[in-house]
Structures are given as C-alpha cells and as structure tokens.
Amino acid sequence: MITLLQRVRQASVTVSGEVVGEIGPGLLMLVCAEPADTPALADKLLAKVLKLRVLADDAGKMNRSLTDTGGGLLIVSQFTLAADCSGGNRPSFTNAAPPDLGRALYEHLVAQARLQHAGPVACGVFAADMQVSLVNDGPVTIPLTFR
C-alpha cells in the first residue's frame, strides 16, 4: 500500500458540494492499494500510522503519535499514488489495485481505524470525484510504502 501522510491543523473532503469528512488537528492519510495488498498489510500500515511520532509535543518537537494526542484521522483513497510516469507524458495507473480490491482494502482500513483509534476518524468516498482541503502543519508530509 502506498500512503502519503500530511500533518494537518484541519482537513476536509467534499463530494458534489457536500462535506463528507472533516477533522481538526491530526493526520490526512491519502492511500492507494496495489494488486498484491492484503487486509493484513492494511492492518500493519494502520498500526504504523497510529503510532508514528510526527505530532508536536509541548516543546514543539515531533514526539507524539496520533494515539498519544487523540487527534483526527482523515482517510482518502487516491489511486494516483500508484502513477507510473516512466513512459511518455501520460501516467499509467496499472500499478494500482483493481477497483474491487481497492475498495475492499480501503473499507477495511477505515473500519479498522474506527475500531482502533479513540479520536475522530473521517473518510472520503471511494472512487468519487473529491475535493480535499487542508492546512498542512509544519509542513509535514511523509510518504509510506508497505509491501
């Protein structure tokens, strides 16, 4: 799974003019499933995200996790993270999981996040045309790839 984490002061996702998910301080998680990914791999990724010490402590150092702070987690599917731009000028997305697998893994990830994280968990809509708004805090942006 490919993930891009952004530490945010706030973030929201809108579909057809309606806000479908929003959080205050926490992490925006853009996620893309790949063909070989499994629910167990999604669980491993979620465990890492919840414990990753990228949030500021009282001294302003990146020393606290989402679990420590109870901050928000906004999970948005983004198949374009699997873009292959090595040939020509039009990206190929064949490295992304097929839609049925991508949806199943995304829904599994969201469900597990809601079970495991005490703070707010919000999400986008799989395969929808979404507009994502955020205020990146830091800025802190961290790519994660689990295979």
Q: Which residues contact 92 (CB under 8 A, 6 or more apart)?
A: 83, 84, 85
Please report the pLDDT score of residue 56 as a whole number: 95
- Domain assignment present for residue 147? The answer is no
Residue 144 in any domain: the answer is: no
Helices 99-116 and 39-51: angle between axes, nearest 10 degrees: 40
List the catalytic residues: 78-80
The 3-state DSSP class for residue 141 equals strand
- pLDDT tier at 146, thresholds 50, 70, 90: confident
pTM: 0.97
Please count the structural domains in the chain.
1
CATH of the domain at 31: 3.50.80.10
Residues 77-114 pLDDT 10s:
999 999 999 999 999 999 999 999 999 999 999 999 99
Domain span at residue 115?
Answer: 2-139
32 within a domain of the structure (yes/no)? yes
Residue 91 lies in a domain: yes
11-68: pLDDT as tens digits = 999 999 999 999 999 999 999 999 999 999 999 999 999 999 999 999 999 999 999 9
User: How many residues are given for the chain?
Assistant: 147
